[in-house]
Amino acid sequence: MAKKISYYTKEGLDKLTNELAMLKSKGRSDIAKQIAEARDKGDLSENAEYDAAKDAQGHLEAKIAQLEDLLSNARLLDETKIDTSSVSILSKVTIKNSKNNASVTYMLVSEEEADLKAGKISTQSPIGKGLLGKKKGDVAKIKTPAGEMEFVIVEITA
């Protein structure tokens, strides 16, 4: 199966890299201490603390492997070279709801960087998918859990 390539801003890629480094150093060190402390408490066959520490170690290693996989397929996008003629990843797009005339601006990002509070939506979300490829003035009809919604593309910036 082909690996899924994900595109990131410098900020998003740095965040993933820092998290991985922290898990590999401090995370592994903390788990090793927990295992050593539990081992010192005696019989391992009936030691719940030891079992819990080993489980935590397994979860940590799984998270590390997941981040390494993400980073191996991560690509850094140059925000200065974004084409603003149509909506694409890293575009900032202002849309207006056709029903209530409410306007909102979103930045389209990878799934891992999505943060609705910060105005960042995933290109994999229903609204993100519906906006991709649209040009200024286009109407996007998007199927959402609340039903079909119509948005007018007001502005596209980098």
User: What predicted TM-score, i.e. pTM, was given to this entire model?
Assistant: 0.67
SS3 127: helix
- The C-alpha atoms of residue 60 and residue 31 are separated, in whole angstroms, by 9
Task: Specify the CATH number for 6-76; select among 1.10.287.180, 3.40.50.620, 3.40.50.20, 1.10.10.10.
Answer: 1.10.287.180
- The answer, yes or no, to whether residue 41 has pLDDT greater than 90, is no
The pLDDT score that the predictor gives to residue 89 is: 86
Architecture of domain 79-157: Roll (3.10)
Region for 82 from its dihedrals, namely left if φ exceeds 0, alpha if ψ lies in -120 to 50, beta otherwise = beta
Q: Is the pLDDT of residue 113 over 70?
A: yes
Arithmetic mean of pLDDT, 141-150: 87
Contact between 16 and 75 under an 8 Å Cβ cutoff? The reply is no
Listed by start position, the domains of the chain span 6-76, 79-157
Per-residue model confidence (pLDDT) at position 65? 94
> What SS3 state is found at 39?
helix
The DSSP symbol for 91 reads -
pLDDT of residue 90: 85
Q: Give the pLDDT score at 105.
A: 94
Q: Pick the residue with more confidence: 43 or 36?
A: 36
Q: Which residue has the tokens 């200065």?
A: 80
Query: Which pLDDT score, from 0 to 100, does residue 3 have?
Result: 67
Give which of 2, 12, 16 is closest to 122, Cα–Cα: 12
Q: Give the three-class secondary structure for 29.
A: helix
- The answer to whether 86 and 156 are in contact (CB under 8 A) is yes
Mind listing the pLDDT tens digit for each residue in 68-84? 998 898 888 777 777 78
Q: What is the pLDDT of residue 81?
A: 74
